[in-house]
A and B are shown apart, each in its own frame.
With several copies, the nearest count.
Chain A
């Protein structure tokens, strides 16, 4: 299992198939259940709902205030229903925010999709709380010593998303254009949003 055997493990495959067969026979799974529950994550690979909410917040101060104070209502406006546990943390010139789950891998699926593998691995989870600046530097993000780093460790059922700073040079862009600029990593807090390069 695990890191020493990254490829298909026939033992694991057999166990999964055995379990699946038992759940199918008992009607706990239908033949199409797996396809149905993974469909939205396989389809919804971007632009993400979270990116859209951030883009709208950049353009609309009222929406931004709502997203920061009552994300439940704000998310409905970008098509995410019934997600009442998200807290959005705004990056500023003096504060950079970063999201982690040290105890497992909690992550805001409805707004960001399924987490990347690195988010779920001990290397990120262990280091994000004790040396966030070193971790961010590995992602290419140097945070100046005067800027505070706030790490949000998702230890309860609350979930966190970062609102990155709008980059200079994107004034006048539409919500659609801004949404496309915002990578998932900026919403976790390990990247910034960059203006499109001038060609």
Chain B
């Protein structure tokens, strides 16, 4: 999806703003949202569905909201789509909450909800031999799928070199859309800054992207 989330190479967002004293969470609700994501991912949705739900917020809302607002939007979108909560009931309770009259009753019987550790989810899979080897010249394909993808726009059509073969991993473009894991090799690909940005590159350097096999062609082929 060519969405507003794909910001690599954009201008116009101003300088990087640093708050050296920022707290871990700026508001108590951010803390709650963090906990709710951790308690529901991957139980009800996978990481690729999570990322794509944020992309589906819409371009303006995506840019005009904060990190934890993105997570909240994701919870609302996915927990409704997955049937965990009903949209109408969510709306009804939000109105009660806004009016200060929402009664919350935790289920008594389940003092010990276990939550998966993020490091405990593995994306590595068994698989076939990789198509490319370290040093191979490749070209990122010119793909513009309307759904989820992890090939950023700035790299499409660009030539690079295989810097490492990571192994086989779940393919986000299918896994985000209920089309299975379709696992494939993932490579570290080095793209020279001059290849990516032409004369606008700001000096010696390169960007390394982690790229799934099906995003790539041999360099000799057209994108």
A69 to chain B, nearest CB (A): 11
Q: Please, how many angstroms separate the alpha-carbon atoms of A150 and B7 in the complex?
A: 18
Given contacts A38-B34, A124-B16, A138-B16, contact A116 B22 (CB under 8 A): yes
B10 contacts A122, CB within 8 Å?
Answer: yes
A114 contacts B24, CB within 8 Å?
Answer: yes
Q: Can you name the residue of chain A whose Cβ is closest to the Cβ of B59?
A: A122
Given contacts A29-B113, A129-B154, A135-B16, contact A8 B207 (CB under 8 A): no
Q: Can you name the residue of chain A whose Cβ is closest to the Cβ of B100?
A: A14
The interface residues of chain B lying within 8 Å CB-to-CB of A152 are: 207-208
Q: Can you name the residue of chain B whose Cβ is closest to the Cβ of A75?
A: B119
The interface residues of chain B lying within 8 Å CB-to-CB of A132 are: 202, 205
The interface residues of chain B lying within 8 Å CB-to-CB of A11 are: 94, 98
Q: Can you name the residue of chain A whose Cβ is closest to the Cβ of B197?
A: A130
Partner of B120, one of A21, A82, A146, A155: A82
B119 contacts A126, CB within 8 Å?
Answer: no
B63 contacts A122, CB within 8 Å?
Answer: yes
A34 contacts B117, CB within 8 Å?
Answer: no
A156 contacts B166, CB within 8 Å?
Answer: yes
The interface residues of chain A lying within 8 Å CB-to-CB of B11 are: 126
B206 contacts A12, CB within 8 Å?
Answer: no
Q: Please, how many angstroms separate the alpha-carbon atoms of A150 and B196 in the complex?
A: 13
Partner of A38, one of B7, B15, B31, B40: B31
Question: Size band of the A side of the interface?
Answer: 35 or more
B146 to chain A, nearest CB (A): 8
A118 contacts B18, CB within 8 Å?
Answer: yes
A126 contacts B13, CB within 8 Å?
Answer: yes
Contact with A along B107-123 (1 / 0, CB 8 A): 10111110101111011
Given contacts A27-B109, A158-B166, contact A117 B104 (CB under 8 A): no
B123 contacts A29, CB within 8 Å?
Answer: no
B102 contacts A21, CB within 8 Å?
Answer: yes
The interface residues of chain A lying within 8 Å CB-to-CB of B212 are: 156
Interface membership of A194, Cβ < 8 A: no
The interface residues of chain B lying within 8 Å CB-to-CB of A102 are: 6-9, 152, 154
B24 contacts A45, CB within 8 Å?
Answer: yes
Q: Please, how many angstroms separate the alpha-carbon atoms of A25 and B104 in the complex?
A: 8
Partner of B94, one of A15, A45, A116, A155: A15
B205 contacts A22, CB within 8 Å?
Answer: no
A103 contacts B206, CB within 8 Å?
Answer: no
The interface residues of chain A lying within 8 Å CB-to-CB of B63 are: 2, 122
B145 to chain A, nearest CB (A): 11
Partner of A158, one of B13, B25, B186, B197: B186
Given contacts A3-B60, A153-B208, contact A41 B24 (CB under 8 A): yes
Interface membership of B211, Cβ < 8 A: yes
Interface residues of A in 118-176 (CB under 8 A from B): 118, 120-127, 129-135, 138-139, 143, 145-158
Interface residues of B in 136-189 (CB under 8 A from A): 144, 150-152, 154, 166, 169-170, 186, 188
A16 contacts B18, CB within 8 Å?
Answer: no
Partner of A153, one of B69, B89, B91, B207: B207
A binding-site residues for B, Cβ under 8 Å = 1-4, 8, 10-38, 41-42, 45, 80-85, 87, 102-105, 109-110, 114, 116-118, 120-127, 129-135, 138-139, 143, 145-158
Enumerate 14 A-B pairs (CB-CB under 8 Å) in ascending A order. A10-B98, A17-B29, A17-B102, A28-B40, A30-B107, A34-B35, A38-B24, A80-B119, A116-B22, A123-B13, A130-B197, A145-B204, A150-B207, A152-B208
Beyond contacts A17-B93, A19-B36: 12 other A-B pairs, Cβ-Cβ < 8 A, are A23-B84, A29-B113, A104-B5, A110-B119, A123-B17, A124-B16, A130-B197, A130-B202, A131-B202, A135-B16, A146-B204, A153-B8
